[in-house]
């Protein structure tokens, strides 16, 4: 059994599939649910007999509309399918809107696009990767247009180390398609890292050279990575689909092709700071280790050992002296106790006037233990008197 995936994963996969598959579609339908928002965005739906799809045209594209949209109007939309992942909703993001009724150029564009797509010109798997740090870039464009100045300005700001080689090219007019092809082939001989083919904005007729099959073929067969940078953000040309990378504008081509030197400066500063911090931490760690080893060495040195032994000897001597004094005091106390007992029981002490020792059968007896008729002996150191107890009166 296949493992389950999360809803977010599913919506993300759907988003990726739809947005990479339906990246430049043309859809015809009738407008409904139209709203001109205060932000400048336009929200509406288009429908036919059986289906409806939500649409949005953001302010940046809406300002190029030559007419006002109305409910019930039939239009042709050029746009991209987008998906809002949190809700799983998809809509048509409109780049261009024209009244219904396809013109000759639009039809030719769609026919050529379908033909080249069938031939594999748009396959992402054959796209060449751009070099990370290009040293030399060929610019196939007009030497007099604004595009070349924009690209030079951005390149100088982003990565001044790059060398730009201008290949002067005719980019407008009937003969321009042949000049573009010639320039692309020539640029391949200049030992460059990549080629930028493009021009500034204009009408569909002005840009049409980049929708020609021979130009698409020259880009497709180029052995260098190619960036197509034609027109404005809303312009999609056949060259955009064939090239390895599409740039929204010529300036954007430089932003895509070149790294940002300021980001690298920040990165190098960060590396330097990290290096200094790590070096400081390493030195501090080694110093701590060295101090610990020094302390350990000092604790285990010959001097420390002799000092310890000397202290132990002094301690033993003190303990021995204290023990000996205690022992002598204990013995002296015992002797004193014995002496006191001896003196108190000395026979000479017994010969006191009015005192005699009472015994029965030579055993000392207390007076309160005597009974009438007991035969006792009253004994002093010099005299023994035998007596018979007549009576015992206890008080």
Mean pLDDT by 10 residues, the chain (395 residues): 81 85 89 92 93 93 80 88 87 87 64 91 95 96 93 94 96 93 96 95 89 95 96 90 95 94 90 93 92 84 81 89 89 86 64 75 83 84 84 79
Give the total residue count for the chain.
Answer: 395
Residue by residue, DSSP assigns 139-197 as EEE-SSSHHHHHHHHHHHHH-TT-EEEEEE---SSTTHHHHHHHHHHHHTTS--SEEEE
CB burial class (10 A; 0-12, 13-18, 19+) of residue 254?
buried
Going by C-alpha positions, the residue among 279, 232, 224, 281 that lies closest to residue 257 is 224
Structure tokens that stand for 170 in this block: 């005719």
Instruction: Using the Cα atoms of residue 132, residue 134, residue 140 and residue 144 in order, give the sign of their dihedral.
Output: positive
Rounded-to-integer distance, Cα 156 and Cα 164, Å: 10
The C-alpha atoms of residue 133 and residue 260 are separated, in whole angstroms, by: 10
- By three-state DSSP, how is residue 2 classified? coil
pLDDT of residue 382: 78
Q: Cα 377 vs. chain centroid, distance in angstroms?
A: 111
Helices (H), 165-301: 176-187, 213-221, 238-242, 250-257, 261-299
Rounded Cα–Cα distance for residues 34 and 358 (Å): 140
pLDDT tens string 149-176: 999 999 999 999 999 999 999 999 889 9
d(CA 246, CA 291) in angstroms, rounded, equals 62
Torsion of CA 153, 158, 162, 164, to 10 degrees: -20
SS3 341: helix
Rounded to whole angstroms, what are the CA distances from 213 to 117, 185, 187? 12, 15, 19
DSSP per-residue letters across 7-73: HHHHHHHHHHHHHHHSSSEEEEEEEEEEEE-TTS-EEEEEE-SS-EEEEEE-HHHHTT-SS---TT-
For position 95, what pLDDT does the model report? 93
Rounded Cα gap, residues 162 and 160, in angstroms: 5
DSSP letter, residue 385:
E
DSSP-derived pairing of the beta strands 89-99 and 136-141: unpaired
Burial class of residue 204, CB neighbours in 10 A (0-12, 13-18, 19+): middle
How does 50-78 read in b/e, with b if 16+ C-beta sit within 10 Å?
A: eeeeebbbeeebbeeeeeebeeebebbbb
How far is 30 from 152, CA to CA, in rounded Å?
Answer: 45
Spatial distance between the Cα atoms of 300 and 307, rounded to a whole number of angstroms: 11
**Secondary structure class of 137 (helix, strand, coil):** strand
Distance CA 119, CA 116 (A): 5
CB-based contact 230:237 (threshold 8 Å): yes
**What CA–CA distance (Å, rounded) separates 230 from 198?**
5
What pLDDT sits at residue 104? 47
CA dist., res. 22 & res. 14, Å (int): 12
Give the contacts of 112 (CB within 8 A, at least 6 positions apart): 211, 213, 216, 238
């Amino acid at each position: 059994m296949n493992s389950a995936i999360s809803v977010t994963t599913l919506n993300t996969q759907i988003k990726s599939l739809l947005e990479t598959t339906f990246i430049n579609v043309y859809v015809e339908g009738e407008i409904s649910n139209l709203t001109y928002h205060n932000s400048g965005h336009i929200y509406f739906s288009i429908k036919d007999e059986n289906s409806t799809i939500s649409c949005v045209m953001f302010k940046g594209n809406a300002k190029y509309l030559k007419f006002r949209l109305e409910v019930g109007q039939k239009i042709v939309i050029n746009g991209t399918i987008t998906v809002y992942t949190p809700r799983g909703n998809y809509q048509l993001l409109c780049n261009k809107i024209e009244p219904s009724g396809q013109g000759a150029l639009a039809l030719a564009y769609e026919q050529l696009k379908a033909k080249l797509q069938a031939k594999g010109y748009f396959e992402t798997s054959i796209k060449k990767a751009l070099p990370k740090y290009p040293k030399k870039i060929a610019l196939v464009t007009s030497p007099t247009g604004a595009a070349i100045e924009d690209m030079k300005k951005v390149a100088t700001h982003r990565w001044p180390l790059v060398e730009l080689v201008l290949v002067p090219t005719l980019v407008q007019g009937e003969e321009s398609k042949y000049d573009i092809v010639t320039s692309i082939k020539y640029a391949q001989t200049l030992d460059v890292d990549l080629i930028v083919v493009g021009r500034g904005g204009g009408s569909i007729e002005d840009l049409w050279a980049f929708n020609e099959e021979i130009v698409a073929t020259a880009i497709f067969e180029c052995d260098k990575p190619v960036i197509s940078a034609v027109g404005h953000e809303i312009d999609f040309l056949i060259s955009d689909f064939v090239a390895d990378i599409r740039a929204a504008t010529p300036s954007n081509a430089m932003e895509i092709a070149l790294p940002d030197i300021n980001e690298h400066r920040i990165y190098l500063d960060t590396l330097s700071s990290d290096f200094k911090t790590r070096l400081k931490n390493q030195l501090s760690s080694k110093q701590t280790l060295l101090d610990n080893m020094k302390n350990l060495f000092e604790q285990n040195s010959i001097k420390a050992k002799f000092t310890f032994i000397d202290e132990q000897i002094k301690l033993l001597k003190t303990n021995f002296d204290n023990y000996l004094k205690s022992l002598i005091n204990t013995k002296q106390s015992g002797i004193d106790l014995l002496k006191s007992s001896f003196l108190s029981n000395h026979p000479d002490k017994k010969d006191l006037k009015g005192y005699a020792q009472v015994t029965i059968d030579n055993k000392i007896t207390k007076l309160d233990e005597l009974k009438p008729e007991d035969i006792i002996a009253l004994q002093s150191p010099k005299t023994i008197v035998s007596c018979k107890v007549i009576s015992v009166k206890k008080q």
